[in-house]
Each structure stands twice: as structure tokens, then as C-alpha cells.
Amino acid sequence: MWMAHSSSPYGARRIALACFALLLVTLFLFPAQIQGLSQYLGGPVGYVVRVPLEAIASIDAGIADRWEQYVALQGVREENQRLRKEMEWLRGQQSQLRESAAATERLTTLLRFKEQALPTMVAAQVIGRDATNRYRALILNKGESDGIRPDMGVVTPAGVVGRVVKTTEASSVVLLVTDSNNAIAGLIQRTRDEGIVEGTQQGLAQLKYIPLLSTLRDGDRVVTSGLVGDFPRGLMIGTITHIDKQEGALFQSAELMPEVDVGRVEEVLVIQTSYGQSLKAGSGADPREKPSP
């Protein structure tokens, strides 16, 4: 494996060095403009890249389906999948019903009850995972042309999946609830204490900034608070598995087991209109799709 010295093209070398230096200067001086330009140019590129991406994703899904149907125990597997989906749906329903019951109780005492409006959602398919190992993210087959924008919430019938962070015309990137860069406003369903749900390095989630006087315990369910961000109130996030209360600390925190198995998500719903916006829009809000089992 010997390599010969080729004639040194100083011109090309100088151009390469100048380009790299220019890039460095531009990136440090105009980061927002570069990001904007990348986003603008990335829109049409998303359409082009989506073609091989969807083709390979469908081949991948086809192979996975065949494997599951013919190699593994066919009947049991199908039934298991159906029951799991049904269970996820029922869990989501149960969580929302509990939340609705609690809300009804509180709001009827105030005599100002308004019927909860369903958010507008769009269904999307997962066609890939983050290109790097440092972030926990999913790639969806829908983007700006389908009305998806950064910061929109992403859910399944079982609960919260994450938040859209990047979009092209034809695809979008969802940062998962288990990523440490993600933060969602959460609420302990039983005690009504609020906190911030963040991902952990180990791929779980934690509820931070819980008041010291909170009487939370293992097994308590954490749902979205609906106060901040694009999630309506009452969507299941996870269950508390461990409480961390340190002496002298101003708050306590708790480890959560996320409700959605983010490693196996195949289809998701992107919340296009938040709960607050739906209420403002009144009953004219026309949900495109609703969660179905």
C-alpha cells in the first residue's frame, strides 16, 4: 500500500485552504444566517433525498415484516402486536379519561367549564433514525409541505414521543423525549405538581424541579401540563420509578420510565394545533386525524 507523491497542485491546495478558512469565519460570524440558508436550500433537497430514503425504508420494513411473519411465530406474533396496540390505545385513553375526570371535577366547581377541543393532528411514518449517535431522534416522512413546523409536539396513542426540531419540505426530525436536550412541561397526575421532563443520557427521562413538599411516590403517572409548548394537557409521558430528594436541595427530581417505547415507534401523530390554539379557534377546528387504535 505505497502511495506515490503526485505533482503538488498548489492552486487547488490554496483554494481548499481559503474555502475552509472562509467557512470557519462565516460560521462563527453569521451562524444564524448560515442556518437559515441551509434550511432554505435544504427544502428542495429534502424532496430529492426522500426518494432513496423512502425506497430503502420500505425495503427495510418489507424485510422486517417478512421476517416477523414467516420466521418468527406468525400467529402469536400478530396477536401479540394487535394486543399491544390495543393496550397502548387503552392506556392512552385511560390517561386521558383520568385527566378529563380530574379536570371536570376542578372546572365544574369554577362553573366555567369548556369542552376540551381535540388538537389537529397529522399522521406520519418513521423512515429513519438520527444520522449521528449523539442525539436520540427520528426522521419522519412528512415535512413543511404537510404543515409540519419546528417545535410541534409528536405523540402516539400511548403518549408523548418528542418534539419536531428540524424540517425540510418533505421530511422532519423529531427529538425524542428521552434525549437530554429535550424539555417538556410535565405534571404529576395524582398530586398536580408541575415540573420539567428532560431526557437522560441513559435513554430514560427525568422530572425535574418538583416542589420539595410534593408527596409524589413510585408509580405516579406524569402527563403533559399543557402550559408551555405544543402539547395539550393530559398526554401520558411516563411513570415515576425512582425519587431523588437531596438534603439542602431546593427541588426534588424523579426518574421516569417513558410510556412510549421510542425504539419501536413506526407511526406517529404530529400535533399541528395546540390545545390553547384549538380553544381560541373555537369549534371550527377540524381535526384531520384522530388517534386510532
Partner 1 sequence: MKFLFYLILVLLLVPFQTTLLPHLSVWNIKPDLGLVAAALIGLFAGELEGLLVGLTIGWILSLFSAGELWLSLLTNGGVGLLTGFLGRQVSQVTSFSLGGVLLLVSLASGLFAAMNFKGLDMAQMWWMVESIVFPQACFDGAVGAGFYWLLSRRFDLTRLRTD
* Shortest separation between residue 154's beta carbon and partner 1, angstroms: 13
Among 22, 25, 56, 249, binds partner 1 (CB under 8 A): 56
Among 117, 127, 205, 256, binds partner 1 (CB under 8 A): 127
| Nearer Cβ to partner 1 (117/270) | 270
| Nearer Cβ to partner 1 (117/124) | 124
| Nearer Cβ to partner 1 (89/209) | 209
Element (H, E) at 17: helix 10-29
Q: At what angle do helices 31-66 and 10-29 cross, to 10 degrees?
A: 100
Do residues 172 and 223 make contact, with C-beta atoms less than 8 angstroms apart?
Answer: no
Q: Nearest CA to 275 among 223, 199, 221?
A: 223
CB atoms within 10 A of CB 46: 20
Beta bridge partners of 247: none
CB atoms within 10 A of CB 35: 12
CA dist 168 and 15 (Å) reads 31
Instruction: Determine, following the binding rule CB under 8 A, whether residue 72 of this chain makes contact with partner 1.
Output: no
Instruction: Determine, following the binding rule CB under 8 A, whether residue 171 of this chain makes contact with partner 1.
Output: yes
What part of residues 228-287 is at the interface with partner 1 (CB under 8 A)?
none
Torsion-angle region of residue 160: left (phi > 0), alpha (psi -120 to 50) or beta? beta
Site string for partner 1, 175-204 (x = CB under 8 A): x---xxx-------------------x---
CA dist 121 and 278 (Å) reads 11
Site string for partner 1, 28-47 (x = CB under 8 A): ---x--xx--x---x--xx-
* Chain residues that interact with partner 1, rule: CB under 8 A: 1-6, 8-9, 12-13, 15-17, 19-20, 23-24, 27, 31, 34-35, 38, 42, 45-46, 48-49, 52-53, 55-57, 60, 127-135, 137, 139, 165-166, 168, 171, 173, 175, 179-181, 201
